Amino acid sequence: MKKVVKFGGSSLASAKQFQKVAEIVKSDRERRYVVPSAPGKRHMHDTKVTDMLYECYELAEQDKSYSRQLKQIRLRYEEIITGLGLSLSLDEEFAEIDAKFAAKAGRDYASSRGEYLNGIIMAHYFDFPFVDAAEVVRFDENGAFLPDKTNELLRARMEELEYAVLPGFYGAKEDGTVVTFSRGGSDITGSILARAVRADVYENWTDVSGFLIADPRIIDRPEVIETITYRELRELAYMGATVLHEESIFPVRKEGIPINIRNTNSPEDKGTWIVESTCQKPKYTITGIAGKKGFCSINIEKDMMNSEVGFGRRVLQVFEENGISFEHMPSGIDTLTVFVHLDEFIEKEQKVVAGLHRLTDPDSIDIESDLALIAVVGRGMRSTRGTAGRIFSALAHANVNVKMIDQGSSELNIIIGVSDNDFEAAIRAIYDIFVIAQI
């Protein structure tokens, strides 16, 4: 068997955390390919190395002195090296970083150095070969990721190596220009690598013991999700669940490789398994609850709307012309409501209203702001009667007014719209009725 293991920034923030990671990797010979993130926070008031690099490079871009900031970054790595008892010098690497910063090599290059340097340290500590992601993770000239070319390069390189360390988060164009994924992109690198080596499992190690059914900032010690499908995860990630970068699903999904979310600080915990499909029945009717605040609704009323061919297309055309994406669009016979992000809409609201009058000739338009959307997701809802009724009952009991409800034909999720002020109360009520009541 082959396992690809990725460790997040909190798992590699200090020498002590590195030692935990080493114990995890060396406890299982199947953990052969390791993807490190940059060092994260050591404590609540600390700064992530990636943020330190951004700050340092901004000074370089402004032709201001950045030597003190670069020294602080170097001290973070030297502290790890000393704590691990390694005889390793990063003099050449920091000399190159200094020269590239002075030459204004770009923000992507700057932010990628966190993973690059951590990868060098990890390779020395584990005595694994180091593979620079810039050599095997390929982007096109416009900065778009090239999955097939990357898979070809990675597979060829890894066939030569039984073990390896590949830093996450970045790659390069054909000419060597460094390009990064979005923040959290080391998850994507791990997934790409798992696909390339045809791994049996992709383990993603972080500081929580898997996906939680609900946000722990709202629910006190929520239950861990034991098994979740890719589709369920996509729904939850889209609505704000952030344990795993949502784009990291696609490479492993193509190969049918399961993902196991694990806790570096509690390696004995089984974590959460993310799979294509499963015959395992979920522990609860729902798999998870997630949501976001900051939406607004645009309600359009017009008699006999349902008989007008192309009415919905014309409505969406107005939003498209103004560069606004929509989240949900529930409708009735004479009404159609569009939910959008408030921050995208607010500066363009009058243009949108004017456009709707021009293209749809409505009887009235009503706008409501400060709304939240909550997704209740679960494959178990398909075979359970009365799920929507239980949600309504729970929300009514908690004195939460439902502004909108939208359920897809797949019966995989139910979207509920409530006021921002009712957001936390709604999540607690739903969690209580589906989880607490069943414990």
Strand order from edge to edge, sheet including 364-377: 326-328, 335-341, 288-301, 364-377, 413-419, 404-407
The span from the CA of 193 to the CA of 195, in Å, is 5
Span 189-206, average pLDDT: 96
Please give the residue that has the higher pLDDT: either 204 or 379: 204
Q: Integer distance in angstroms from the first to the last C-alpha of the chain?
A: 37
What average pLDDT does range 265-277 have in this prediction?
A: 93
pLDDT number for residue 180: 96
Per-residue pLDDT band for 419 (boundaries 50, 70, 90) equals very high
Of 122-136, 166-180, 281-295, 337-351, the least confident: 281-295
| Collapsed DSSP state (helix, strand, coil) of residue 399 | coil
Residues 6+ apart with CB under 8 A from 113: 53, 93, 97
Q: Does the structure show a pLDDT above 90 at 85? A: yes
Neighbours of 174 (CB within 10 A): 11
- Domains in the chain: ranges and CATH: 3-275 (3.40.1160.10), 288-438 (3.30.2130.10)
As a whole number, mean pLDDT of residues 179-187 equals 90
Q: Are strands 201-206 and 227-229 parallel, antiparallel or unpaired?
A: unpaired
The larger pLDDT score, comparing residue 103 to residue 245, is at 103
pTM above 0.95, yes or no: no
Mean pLDDT, range 47-56, rounded to an integer:
97
Q: How confident is the model at residue 387 (pLDDT cuts 50, 70, 90)?
A: confident
Which amino acid does the sequence have at 227?
T
pLDDT of 382 reads: 77
pLDDT band at 118; cut points 50, 70, 90: very high
Residues 112, 7, 256, CA angle at the centre, nearest 5°? 105
Q: Is the pLDDT of residue 29 over 80?
A: yes
User: For residues 289 and 372, is the Cβ–Cβ distance under 8 A?
Assistant: no
